[in-house]
A and B are shown apart, each in its own frame.
Chain A
Amino acid sequence: MIKLTSVHKEYPRSGPALRDVSLHVRKGELVFLTGHSGAGKSTILRLVQMADFPTAGEVRVSGFSSKTVRPRDIPQLRRKLGVVFQDFRLLRDRTAEDNVAFALEVTGAKRAGIAQRVNRLLGQVGLSHKAQAFPDELSGGERQRVAVARALANDPFVLLADEPTGNLDEWAARGVFDLFKEINAMGMTVLMATHDLDLVRAHPEYRVVELSQGEIVYDSASTLEGQRSRAE
Chain B
Amino acid sequence: MMPYAFREALTAFRRTPLLTMLSVVAIGFSLFVVGLFGLTAYNIRRAIEKVEEKVEVVGYLTDDALPEQILVATQEIRGLPEVAAVRPVSKIEAMANARETMEEFRDVSTDLESNPFPASLEVSLKPGSRTPTAVARVAKHLKAYPFVEDVRYGRDWLDKIYLIRQILGGAASIIGGAFALVAAIVIATAVRIAVFARREEISIMRLVGATDGFIRKPFLLEGLITGFVGGILSAVLTYVAFRVLDSTMFRIEWIPGRWVLGVVAAGTAFGFLSSAAAVRRHLRAV
Contacts and interface: CB of A to CB of B under 8 A. Distances in A.
A181 to B, nearest CB: 23
Contacts, number: 48
A150 B205 CA distance: 11
Interface of B: 1, 4, 200-201, 203-212, 214-215
Interface in A77-111: 77-81, 83, 89, 91, 102-103, 105-108, 111
Contact of A107 (B1, B201, B203, B210): B210
B214 A154 contact: no
A154 B207 CA distance: 12
A111 B2 CA distance: 10
Contacts of B206: 75, 78
A49 to B, nearest CB: 8
Contacts of B211: 72, 75
Contact of B207 (A76, A80, A83): A83
Contact of A111 (B1, B200, B209): B1
A161 interface: no
A106 B200 contact: no
B214 A106 contact: yes
Contact of B201 (A49, A81, A91): A91
Contact of B4 (A77, A91, A106, A150): A106
A91 B197 CA distance: 12
A31 interface: no
B201 A78 contact: no
A153 interface: yes
Interface of A: 49, 72, 75-81, 83, 89, 91, 102-103, 105-108, 111, 150, 153-154
A134 B127 CA distance: 74
B190 to A, nearest CB: 20
B209 A77 contact: yes
A123 B210 CA distance: 25
Cβ-closest 5 pairs across A and B: A78-B209, A79-B209, A106-B210, A103-B208, A75-B209
A153 B215 CA distance: 18
A153 B210 CA distance: 13
Contacts of B4: 105-106
19 contacts: A72-B212, A75-B206, A75-B209, A75-B210, A78-B207, A79-B209, A89-B200, A89-B203, A89-B204, A102-B205, A103-B204, A105-B4, A106-B208, A106-B214, A106-B215, A107-B208, A107-B214, A108-B214, A154-B208
B207 A89 contact: yes
Q: Which residue of B4, B208, B215 has the most chain A CB atoms within 10 A of its CB atom?
A: B208
Given A72-B211, A89-B200, A106 B1 contact: no
Contacts of B212: 72, 75
A153 to B, nearest CB: 7
